Amino acid sequence: MRVTLLGTGTSHGVPAIACDCAVCHSTDARDRRMRPSILLDLGEMDARPGVGSAAVAASPTAAAVRYVLVDTGTDLRAQALAYNVRRVDAILFTHSHADHIMGLDEVRRYNMVQQATIGCYADARTLGDLRRMFSYIFETGPRAGGGVPRLSMFEIGGPFSIGGVEVIPIPLMHGPREILGYRVGSFAYLTDCNHIPDRSWPLLEGVRTLVLDALRHRSHSTHFSVDEALQVVARLRPERTCFTHICHDLPHAATCARLPAGVELAYDGLVLDIT
Ligand SMILES: [Zn+2]
Ligand SMILES: [Zn+2]
Ligand SMILES: [Zn+2]
């Protein structure tokens, strides 16, 4: 499996609008951060091991799913063009904050190219928010103009299978709100969180590559700070950790130089090969 980090910035993006700080004016490309999203390439169908445990429910869209997008962020179109995302076979949503969903309308282009409806997976609250915030997508009746995304919505109730690959939702606390991280094999994506509930730790055992929220050095009410994220790393002990959802307080090179071995700041376009 291959993971591409399409965006590693916080909700404002970096550079932030009308900011004169050093990071927002940096010439290091790794200091330019679009809104958070990743793309999973599950690889060729026949290279995948058999469908996982009996507890894994068969997905209605199991056939020929290879490219799985996590969130449809504000910058989806720019990310798809920058990183040549030519297909999206399924979408996982972490939660319904604007920076994670506002690119949903861009999915029309994949419907058109692939001539197919795209399966979307989210928890009940996020599904409800999507139906309300994008009500025009879910209205029935005649369509005019450029059309609307064609989506099949599935409520996540536990581990499930996409294209024969087991996806494990990981409950996370994002301030007072419970949202979802995701684990696929030895990889986990835990964005937008400031606490990992007790029941989620066993789900993360054996994770070797981790992408984890670390907003900035100062503490925050809904995101891990760098020090808090390092405490998660110390407990989980993955081989490689990449911090994401990064704000303009953290210059890439200087921050990475001070992080322990095996821990780095992610950057847009970073590719992780997961074995
Ligand atoms: Zn966010
Ligand atoms: Zn700035
Ligand atoms: Zn959020």
What confidence score (pLDDT) does residue 140 get? Answer: 84
Give the pLDDT mean for 78-91.
Answer: 98
Q: Does the pLDDT value for residue 58 go beyond 60?
A: no
What confidence score (pLDDT) does residue 62 get? Answer: 46
Ligand number nearest CA of 97 is 3
Angle (nearest 5°) at CA 154 between 149 and 156: 135
Residues with CB under 5 A from ligand 2 (ion): 16, 19, 21, 24, 248
Ligand number nearest CA of 31 is 2
What confidence score (pLDDT) does residue 146 get? Answer: 75
Task: Please state which of the ranges 145-154, 197-206, 250-259 shows the lowest mean pLDDT.
Answer: 145-154
Give the pLDDT mean for 58-63.
Answer: 48
Burial category of 98 from C-beta neighbours within 10 Å (exposed 0-12, middle 13-18, buried 19 and up): exposed
Give me ligand 2 centre to Cα 219, in Å.
Answer: 18
Of 265, 194, 199, 266, the C-alpha closest to 232 is: 194
What confidence score (pLDDT) does residue 145 get? Answer: 75
- Alpha carbon distance 59, 163 (integer Å): 8
Give me ligand 2 centre to Cα 24, in Å.
Answer: 4
What confidence score (pLDDT) does residue 236 get? Answer: 98
Give me ligand 3 centre to Cα 102, in Å.
Answer: 12
Give me ligand 1 centre to Cα 10, in Å.
Answer: 6
Q: How confident is the model at residue 92 (pLDDT cuts 50, 70, 90)?
A: very high
147 residue type, one letter:
G
Give me ligand 2 centre to Cα 253, in Å.
Answer: 16
Give me ligand 2 centre to Cα 53, in Å.
Answer: 47
- For the beta sheet containing 187-190, the strands, ordered from the edge strand earlier in sequence to the opposite edge, are 160-162, 165-174, 177-184, 187-190, 209-213, 240-244, 263-265
Q: Does the pLDDT value for residue 57 go beyond 70?
A: no
Ligand number nearest CA of 33 is 2
Residue 148: count other Cβ atoms within 10 Å of its Cβ: 17
Q: E strands within 96-149? A: 118-122
Ligand number nearest CA of 175 is 3
Give me ligand 1 centre to Cα 201, in Å.
Answer: 21
Q: How confident is the model at residue 61 (pLDDT cuts 50, 70, 90)?
A: very low
Q: Does the pLDDT value for residue 223 go beyond 90?
A: yes
Q: How much is the mean pLDDT over the chain? A: 94
Q: Which residues pair with 211 in a beta bridge?
A: 189, 242
pLDDT per residue as tens digits for the range 158-190 = 999 999 999 999 999 999 999 999 999 999 999
pLDDT per residue as tens digits for the range 128-159 = 999 999 999 999 877 767 799 999 999 999 99
